[in-house]
Amino acid sequence: MPKRSDTQRIREEAHRLGFEFVGIARAEFMEEEAKKLEDWLHRGYQGKMGYMENHFDKRTDPTKLVEGAKSVVSLTYNYYTEKSPEDPTAPKISKYAYGQDYHYVIKQKLRELLAFIRNEIGEVNGRCFVDSAPVLERDWARRSGVGWMGKNTLLIHPKRGSYFFLAELILDLELSYDQPIKDYCGTCTRCIDACPTEAISPQGYVLDGSKCISYLTIELREAIPESFKGQFENWAFGCDICQEVCPWNRFSTPHQEEAFEPHPELLKMTAREWREITEEVFRKVFKKSAVKRTKFKGLKRNLDFLGS
């Protein structure tokens, strides 16, 4: 009974904090995922993301992150919006970056959830993660039944699609565990067909990160290879193409998170204003945004690559 009641209380508090779906998996070594990660790295699909090669043991074993870990709680937080740039010719940025940086917004909610667990359940050792540590987020979410791994390698939920952030709590608390759900991609290949840089393998389920527009516009610090010229379809920061064409995203609903609302000037910017953006405007419009990650110099590089 304690396991069940503890699990229920955690779910209820997570929903109160704004998390939509909650799944829980047993904390254990991820043997199958470790083999896939090793193969992915061996093929060089990480590109210049050298950090992906670090802490391999921690990525595949949560007990290396939290001593005595028993449960991995996976949570989703919706960021979908129907809003888009007023100028259809303006450079595009991923929807997830419209508002404030999700790392800070969601991390604070996770801390509140962990504090709740300690206050209501007792002395629990645990850590919060939001895309900022060696955690295989999508694999844990898949294991806990929050969704299935789509052919575009994003996690897809049958009632909400894929426009959501993933977050985790790794706890030394035993809870009731969920089971993975079925893969519903079927014979669909829309994401594979639509990817302009052919980053998704022909069979799906494997992404060559070094070809992904999100990697090239965010993670890559050096010059974008000329071989990608003309293939970005006007994406200046990130890319949502494989989500836009996914049939499951017809179930996406607008988020209710005020922090994720775009800066008032962002969607009003014309193509010309983007081309002529100054560092002052960059600082103002993207003050709290994840776009700051590229810095002004990186965004200008991307814009120049689109325009040249």
What residues form DSSP beta bridges with 92? 235
Q: Residue 110's pLDDT is what?
A: 98
Calculated CA dihedral for residues 266, 199, 215, 234, nearest 10 degrees = -30
Residue 67 domain-assigned (yes or no): yes
Tell me the per-residue pLDDT of 141-187, one tens digit each, with 9 for 90 and over: 999 999 999 999 999 999 999 999 999 999 999 999 999 999 999 99
Q: Residue 15's pLDDT is what?
A: 98
- The active-site residue, picked from 61, 87, 131, 172, is 131
pLDDT of 42 above 70: yes
Residue 35 and residue 166 share a domain:
yes
Percentage of residues in the chain with pLDDT exceeding 90? 94
Final residue of a structural domain among 114, 138, 171: 171
Residue 292 and residue 156 share a domain:
no
Rg over CA atoms, the chain: 20
Residue from 142, 175, 166, 129 nearest 30 by CA: 142
Residue 264 and residue 132 share a domain:
no
Q: How far apart are CA 195 and CA 244, in angstroms?
A: 11
How confident is residue 307, by pLDDT bands cut at 50, 70 and 90?
Answer: confident
Residue 92 domain-assigned (yes or no): no
Residue 76 and residue 34 share a domain:
yes
How confident is residue 78, by pLDDT bands cut at 50, 70 and 90?
Answer: very high
Give the amino acid at 27.
A
Final residue of a structural domain among 171, 203, 220: 171
Residue 120 and residue 20 share a domain:
yes
Residues 196 and 283 sit within 8 Å (Cβ to Cβ): no
131 is an active site residue: yes
pLDDT of 134 above 90: no
Q: Residue 308's pLDDT is what?
A: 53
Q: How many domains does the chain have?
A: 2
Q: Residue 1's pLDDT is what?
A: 57
Tell me the per-residue pLDDT of 222-247, one tens digit each, with 9 for 90 and over: 999 999 999 999 999 999 999 999 99
Residue 109 is encoded by which pair of tokens?
A: 């909610």
Ordered DSSP codes for 7-52: HHHHHHHHHHTT---EEEEE----HHHHHHHHHHHHTTTTTT-GGG
pLDDT of 83 above 70: yes
Tell me the per-residue pLDDT of 89-99, one tens digit each, with 9 for 90 and over: 999 999 999 99
Residue 215 and residue 156 share a domain:
no
Residue 167 and residue 18 share a domain:
yes
Q: What is the mean pLDDT of the chain?
A: 96
Residue 224: which domain range?
190-307
DSSP E strand stretches across the chain: 22-26, 71-78, 92-93, 126-129, 148-149, 155-156, 164-171, 235-237
